[in-house]
Amino acid sequence: MNLSLYLTLKQFKSGNQNGFFKTASMLSIAGLSIGISALLITLFILNGFERVISEKITLLDGHIRIKHFLNEPYDPREYELENALPKESDLFSYHAFIQKPALLRKGQIAKGVIVEGISDTSYSFLSQLIISGSKNISRDGVIIGDRMSKENNLKISDNITIFDLSTFYQQEKKFKQLKVEGIFHSGIVEYDNNSIFLNLKTSQELFSIKDKISGYVFRLNSQNDMPKVRQQLKENISYPLMMMDWKEKNRALYKWLNVQRWPIVFIFGLISIVAIVNIISAISMIVIDKTRQIGLMSALGMPIKKIRQMFLIKGLVIGFFGALIGIFFAIFLALLQNRYKIIKVPEDVYFMNSVPVDVSMVQIIIIFFIVIFVTATVSLWPSNRSTKISPSNALKYE
């Protein structure tokens, strides 16, 4: 074993529990561990927020929507999009939809809503959100959000009337009398309070658009396939159709998430920087404390390079164990939060009722190696100081 490594590890294993070396090293490791765990937990929470928000939005809105650039209904046969796309794909599934504003009425209750007409083959995504009633929509049925249900006292089997807003001020109003067949909960207030789901054919009859649709919604099997699917769709659509993915539609939300990420990471990263500065102080104090031993080793002929290596290794050991303990502590807290949902948040603000924590091995590995590199770098200065100690000055009072 390398002599410098052997002497350093022997000092760590020393039974002298009151020694300055051990105390300074343990405090440095503890400080670094707290900094690393705080930084990692912050990153894990940001990962969790972005994942949950993306999952909820894409579950309702899909990953990509193709529609008329004026948002008008169109006949899909005119653009032959269905013929250009595969009936089945390993990358995505898609279906037609209708989306238009309408007015919901029941007795004295009147509320503006967004009607989403979906085909019989596309109910699977909605079944994941249903909390009461049927998971399918009949020709005379409607599924509403739980917040809309609570605020307007609507229950399963209630009869409601849906008016086409474009004909509301005309003599001949277009409307449909439907029955509430299900209630869904997404956790996103805008959807739970304003969206209703109808059968596609029922929506076409309500808005008098015959075989026209608002567009197609695409749901990807993996978000990693987004560039490939976008390219495939881009080759098959032309003016006046346009393509928009969920991040473009919710640009403001994702911009806010990105803006929040870097200041938060910077602030918690400062804790790690303070801990790393503490390592410099600790090793410098250890050099001062070990002045006599350094002088003695120099007098006995130990090479300066080996003495420098000893203090460099001490910095690396502190960095290694500090990072390792911080990582394990962060993972432990993440698993604890995911299992027991200890930290709660208001769902109407954050789209979720507890703080989600997503552990990223990539982030852990990157931070671990950055810590090792930085601690090795900052240990160079105090370790170089140790080589400037003269044996005669160190031992003249002995």
Find, among 272, 282, 268, the residue nearest to 26 by Cα: 282
- At 69-80, the pLDDT tens digits run 999 999 888 887
**The amino acid at 134:** S
Strand 141-145 relative to strand 175-184, pairing: parallel
Q: What is the rounded (10 degree) CA torsion for 319, 322, 327, 329?
A: 180
Instruction: List phi, psi (to 5°) of 118.
Output: -125, 150
Per-residue model confidence (pLDDT) at position 18? 46
- From first to last of the 398 residues of the chain, give the pLDDT tens digit: 566 666 666 666 665 544 677 788 888 999 999 999 999 999 999 999 999 999 999 999 999 999 999 999 998 888 877 777 777 788 898 889 999 999 999 988 999 999 999 987 777 888 899 999 998 899 999 999 999 999 999 999 999 999 999 887 887 889 999 999 999 999 999 999 999 999 999 999 999 998 899 999 999 988 889 999 998 888 888 888 999 999 999 888 888 888 888 888 888 888 888 888 888 888 888 777 766 776 676 767 778 777 788 878 888 889 999 999 999 999 999 999 999 999 999 988 888 999 999 999 999 999 999 999 999 888 888 877 766 666 656 555 45
Please report the pLDDT score of residue 395 as a whole number. Answer: 57
pTM, entire model: 0.85
Which residues fall within 8 angstroms of residue 225, CB to CB, at 6 or more apart? 91, 92
Q: What is the pLDDT of residue 147?
A: 95
Cβ pair 367, 322 in contact under 8 A: no
Length reported for the chain: 398
**DSSP letters for 283-327:** HHHHHHHTHHHHHHHHHTT--HHHHHHHHHHHHHHHHHHHHHHHH
How many C-beta neighbours within 10 Å does residue 223 have?
A: 15
Q: What is the pLDDT of residue 312?
A: 85
